[in-house]
Amino acid sequence: MSKHALFVSVCSCVCLLACNSSVEFPPAADSQVSAKDLAAYDLENPTKIIQAFEKTLQALPAYSCKLRTVIHLKTDDMDKRMVSDYLVQIEQPRRWAIVKQSGMIGGTSVSDGRHVTSYIPMLQRYAVEDLPEDGLVRSLVTGPAETMGMMGPAALASLFLGHGLADWMLDGVNKSEHLGSDLIDGVECQHYRYSRKEGTPWELWVQVGEQVLIRKFQMQPEAPEAGEAMQEMSLGMQLEFAEWDTAAKFLEADFAFDPPAGANKVEDLLGGVGEPQPHRLIGQQAPTFEVQSLVGDPFKLADHLGQKIIVLDFWATWCSPCTAALPGLARVSKQFEGQDVLVYAVNQGEEAEVVQRFLSKAELELSVLLDFQGSIGEMYAVDGIPMTAVIGKDKRVQVVHVGFSQGMEKKLSREIGQLLRGEDLAARTAGEAEDQRTDGG
């Protein structure tokens, strides 16, 4: 990979690197947090100050601010900074406009309370989805990592609404300290440092008054220890928040998306853009295996090959995109109940008690296979989860999906229907890949 390609790739995802994106987000609160609750913050406690910031956002009926992201990538032969500017407008509980105003990396997300529009200027593409009546938070923080990376801060609307922000920021933090105060644009801000068990430490500057407001976030790799060789690449990121208006008033037009000239409306925001080659198992005979189910029954894939369409969804309870996909998988399983379709959630490496506890809490009904050693995952070349493999009645792997997106349930249902009608999706995928290679040539 060229250094330039590496830079673009890193920058497109860096806004998600500050915290662990695998954190499970809690449900959206049913009511606003009372402003009087904010009096409980403690300037000396770095954890509580982040919790107070989350409560501030939840308590504000509406607010706006400007956000600048600064990404600094340095290698032996390259030293680059990339700056993007956003306007953030939030109206609780379901309207927002996180608009990229300048810069190469990042996108725009706008909700009018009923529909969410996501726009990636680099691709000149936008997509519109219905905003669910429930499950608001989950719907805003899941999706393919590539989409979230290219959208930047606009992919994290739920955090700007104040839902799950503290858990997200503090995940993995094992040490924190108050470093005193500094001036930012003439405003006194409290300065904190947070260290993690794994990953780069980060610092925070917080303005404390009637509200608790973040003014700057900074993540900078630590200098190497004495005698340690200098690393090939260092990556730093800074988020700067300015012009907070905590009593903002908005018009309907502020939450309406007006497509820029030349922008194309699409169903799949990244469909056909930089897509990887088809999974190497597509069109191949499905590897067979024997394993136990969650309830202790033996399962032999060979007993069903050639008779049923078989869906294998590889997942784990700690993987947020995986668990976000499971309700849709359960609905697909129910939809084809009584037909020649079997749907299995193949858990990767977890004990039965852990899986059962998760399913009970989530109120999910799924047939689960336990891949304790990950051997089935290896057979099916699972490089990342979630991954869904669909095996046709011809015993071949017809479809493979890696990652999760909001349209996955509908796509999987459509593909199963096509396979029931005898269509060869593997051949179609191979043909499309060949056309793409020909066009590219």
Q: What is the CATH number of the domain that holds 339?
A: 3.40.30.10
Q: Is 280's pLDDT higher than 60? A: yes
Predicted local distance difference test score (pLDDT) of residue 264: 87
Nearest residue to 54 (alpha-carbon basis) of 164, 135, 141: 164
Q: Which of 214, 230, 265 is the last residue of a domain?
A: 265
Q: What is the DSSP letter of 308?
A: S
Q: Is 320 helix (H, G, I), strand (E, B) or coil?
A: helix
29 shares its domain with 163: yes
Nearest partner of 219 among 233, 198, 191, 199, judged by Cα: 199
Instruction: Say if residue 318's pLDDT is above 70.
Output: yes
Note the pLDDT tens digit of each residue in 359-372: 999 899 999 999 98
98 touches 69 (CB < 8 A): no
- Concatenating the DSSP letter of every residue in 405-436 gives -TTHHHHHHHHHHHHHTT--HHHHHHHHHHHH
| Bigger pLDDT: 43 vs 57 | 57
Number of structural domains the chain divides into: 2
| 238 found inside a domain | yes
- Of the chain, the percentage scoring pLDDT greater than 90 comes to 50
The answer to whether residue 412 sits within a structural domain is yes
Beta 309-315 vs 341-348: how paired, if at all?
Answer: parallel
pLDDT at 75 over 80: no
Q: What are the φ and ψ backbone dihedral angles of 192, each rounded to 5 degrees?
A: -130, 155
Confidence tier at 71 by pLDDT (50, 70, 90): confident
* Within a domain: 282: no
Average pLDDT, integer, range 89-103: 93
Whole-angstrom Cα Rg for the chain: 24
17 and 158 part of one domain: yes
- At which of 265, 299, 321 does a domain end? 265
The CATH number of whichever domain residue 118 belongs to comes to: 2.50.20.10
Least confidently predicted of 135-149, 277-291, 343-357: 135-149
Residue 25 has pLDDT above 60, yes or no: no
pLDDT at 103: 83
More confident call, 217 vs 31: 217
Spatial distance between the Cα atoms of 229 and 49, rounded to a whole number of angstroms: 37
Q: Of 79-83, 130-134, 136-140, 317-321, give the lowest mean pLDDT range.
A: 136-140
**Which of 212, 231, 265 is the C-terminal boundary of a domain?**
265
275 assigned to some structural domain: no
> Is the distance from CB of 108 to CB of 98 less than 8 angstroms?
yes
Residue the block writes with tokens 């509580």: 48
Residue numbers of the domain that contains 392:
290-440
* Listed range (27-31, 194-198, 315-319, 336-340) with the worst mean pLDDT: 27-31
In the predicted structure, residue 297 carries a pLDDT above the cut 90: yes
Contact 395, 281 (CB under 8 A): no
pLDDT band of residue 123 (cuts 50, 70, 90) is confident
Q: Which residue has the higher pLDDT, 233 or 154?
A: 154
Are the C-beta atoms of residues 181 and 189 closer than 8 Å to each other? Answer: yes
The torsion angle over the Cα atoms of residues 346, 156, 328 and 431, rounded to 10 degrees, is -80
Instruction: Quickly state the pLDDT bin for 415 (edges 50, 70, 90).
Output: very high
Clarify whether residues 315 and 400 are in a common domain: yes
**Same domain assignment for residues 251 and 345:** no
Which pLDDT score is estimated for 252? 95
Q: Residue 395 CB: number of other CB atoms within 10 A? A: 18
The larger pLDDT score, comparing residue 42 to residue 87, is at 87
Pairing of strands 298-300, 125-130: unpaired
Shared domain for 58 and 177, answered yes or no, is: yes
Angle between helices 425-440 and 408-420 (to 10 degrees): 120
Type of residue at 281: L
Residues 248 and 350 in one domain: no
Does residue 276 have a pLDDT over 70? no
Give residue 233's pLDDT. 59
Query: b/e map of 307-321 (b: 16 or more CB within 10 Å)?
Result: eebbbbbbbbbbbbb
- My answer on whether 69 and 174 are in the same domain is yes
Is 285 contained in some domain?
no
Statement: residue 133 has pLDDT above 90 = no
Same domain, 198 and 320: no
Rounded distance between C-alpha atoms, residue 84 and residue 17, angstroms: 16
Residue 276 lies in a domain: no
Start-to-end CA distance of the chain, whole Å, equals 20
Q: Do you find a cis peptide bond into 46, omega within 30 degrees of 0? A: no
**pLDDT confidence tier of residue 433, bands split at 50, 70 and 90:** low
> What is the model's pLDDT at position 40?
54
Question: 348 and 245: one domain?
Answer: no
Type and span of the H or E element at 145? helix 145-151
HSE of 239 in the Cβ direction (CA atoms, 13 Å)? Answer: 23
The residues near 147 (Cβ < 8 Å, ≥ 6 apart) are: 118, 155, 269, 270, 405
DSSP string of 347-363? EES--HHHHHHHHHHHT
Return the DSSP state at 285. B
The label of the residue with tokens 């004990």 reads 351
Residue 106 in tokens: 């990042």
Res 261: pLDDT: 84
For the segment 389-401, the average pLDDT, to the nearest whole number, is: 94
Mean pLDDT of the chain: 81
- How confident is the model at residue 43, as a pLDDT? 81
Whether 109 and 189 map to the same domain: the answer is yes
What three-state secondary structure class fits 364?
A: coil
Q: Which of 85-99, 137-151, 216-230, 381-395 has the lowest mean pLDDT?
A: 137-151
Both 358 and 255 in one domain: the answer is no
Residues 237 and 110 in one domain: yes
Residue 11 lies inside a defined structural domain of this protein: yes
pLDDT category, 160, cuts 50, 70, 90? very high
| Average pLDDT of the segment spanning 383-387 | 83
Question: Which of 5-14, 128-137, 195-204, 256-265 has the least mean pLDDT?
Answer: 5-14
| Average pLDDT over every residue of 201-210 | 91
Q: Which two tokens stand for residue 315?
A: 């997942």
The encoded tokens of residue 139 equal 């719907």
Contact 215, 189 (CB under 8 A): yes
Structure tokens at 110: 């706008």
Q: Which residues pair with 71 in a beta bridge?
A: 82, 237
**Residue 224: pLDDT over 60:** no
Average pLDDT over residues 220-230: 49
Is residue 84 in a domain?
A: yes
Rounded distance between C-alpha atoms, residue 316 and residue 321, angstroms: 10
Please tell me the predicted confidence (pLDDT) of residue 441: 46
Residue type, 375: S
Q: Which residue has the higher pLDDT, 276 or 410?
A: 410
209 or 104, higher pLDDT = 209
